[in-house]
C-alpha cells in the first residue's frame, strides 16, 4: 500500500494540488500565517492616503459638487496606486535579496516582468496626462485615451498570467486578479461609452 500512495503523492507534487493541500473552510481559518498578515501600519497608511486624496478633490475651487466628488475618487485612487506600487517595487527587491542574497539579480522578478511594470506605469501616466474632452475631429490623442483601458488590461493580464502566477500560492489568486483587472477596464469603458456625448462629437 505504501508504494502506490507514495507514487500518488509524488505525482500530485507536480500539479497545482500541492497549493491547496492545506486549504480549509473560511470559518476554520482562525489565525493567518505570518506571510499573509497585513501590517497595521499598512492599513493606517492606506487610510491616510485615501483621506489625503479625498481632501485634494474637495478643496478644488470653482467646481460643482459632483465634479469634486469625482475628483476626490480619482485622487484617492491615484495616491493609493502610487503608494502601493512603491511598496510593491520594494517587495520585489526584498524577494530578490531573500532568495539570491542580492537586490539586483532579476532572478525572482525577471527583466521581462519589470519591463511590463514600466509599460503599465507609462500607460497610466500618458492616460492621465492626455485625458481631456474629445475633440472634433477625433485626434490621435483621443484614440489613445479611448483605448488606454484596453492597453492597461492587456498589460495587466500579461503581468499576472505570464509572471505572477509563478509566485502565486494558488491559481485562485490569479483568477481573482484577472477578473478584477477586467472589471476595472469594464468600468472605465462603460464610463466612456455612456457618459460621453458621442452624438455631439460627431456633428
What was the pLDDT predicted at 122?
Answer: 95
CA distance 123 to 152: 7
**In 108-170, where does DSSP find H-type helix?**
111-130, 140-157
pLDDT in tens, the chain (203 residues): 444 444 444 444 444 444 555 667 777 767 776 766 788 899 999 999 999 999 999 887 777 888 889 889 999 999 999 999 999 899 889 889 888 999 999 998 999 999 999 999 999 999 999 998 888 888 999 999 999 999 999 999 999 999 988 887 777 788 888 999 999 999 888 888 887 777 777 55
Q: In sequence order, which residues have a C-beta less than 8 Å from that of residue 193 and are 6 or more positions away?
A: none
pLDDT of residue 61: 75
- Write 1-10 long-range contacts (CB < 8 A, 24+): none
| pLDDT at residue number 194 | 81
pLDDT for 140: 93
Distance, CA of 65 to CA of 52 (rounded, Å): 18
Distance set, CA 49 to CA 52, 55, 60, 180 (Å): 5, 10, 17, 21
SS3 154: helix
User: CB of 155 within 8 A of CB of 116?
Assistant: yes
Locate 80 and state its grid cell: 493609493
Domain map of the chain by residue range? 38-100, 110-197
Matching residue, cell 480619482: 74
Element holding 82 (H helix, E strand): helix 65-100
Q: Is the peptide bond before 137 cis (omega within 30 degrees of 0)?
A: yes
Whether 79 and 50 have beta carbons less than 8 Å apart is answered as yes
DSSP state of 159: I
Amino acid at each position: 500500500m505504501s508504494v502506490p500512495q507514495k507514487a500518488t503523492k509524488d505525482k500530485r507534487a507536480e500539479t497545482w494540488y500541492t497549493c491547496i493541500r492545506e486549504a480549509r473552510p473560511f470559518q476554520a481559518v482562525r489565525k493567518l500565517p505570518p506571510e499573509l498578515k497585513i501590517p497595521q501600519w499598512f492599513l493606517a497608511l492606506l487610510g491616510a492616503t485615501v483621506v489625503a486624496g479625498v481632501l485634494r478633490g474637495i478643496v478644488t475651487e470653482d467646481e460643482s459638487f459632483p465634479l469634486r466628488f469625482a475628483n476626490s475618487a480619482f485622487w484617492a485612487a491615484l495616491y493609493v496606486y502610487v503608494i502601493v506600487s512603491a511598496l510593491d517595487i520594494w517587495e520585489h527587491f526584498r524577494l530578490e535579496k531573500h532568495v539570491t542574497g542580492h537586490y539586483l539579480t532579476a532572478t525572482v522578478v525577471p527583466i521581462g516582468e519589470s519591463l511590463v511594470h514600466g509599460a503599465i506605469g507609462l500607460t497610466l501616466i500618458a492616460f492621465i496626462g492626455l485625458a481631456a474632452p474629445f475633440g472634433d475631429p477625433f485626434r490621435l490623442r483621443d484614440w489613445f485615451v479611448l483605448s488606454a483601458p484596453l492597453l492597461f488590461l492587456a498589460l495587466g493580464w500579461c503581468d499576472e498570467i505570464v509572471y505572477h502566477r509563478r509566485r502565486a500560492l494558488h491559481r485562485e489568486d490569479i483568477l481573482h486578479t484577472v477578473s478584477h483587472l477586467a472589471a476595472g477596464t469594464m468600468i472605465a469603458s462603460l464610463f466612456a461609452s455612456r457618459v460621453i456625448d458621442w452624438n455631439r462629437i460627431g456633428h
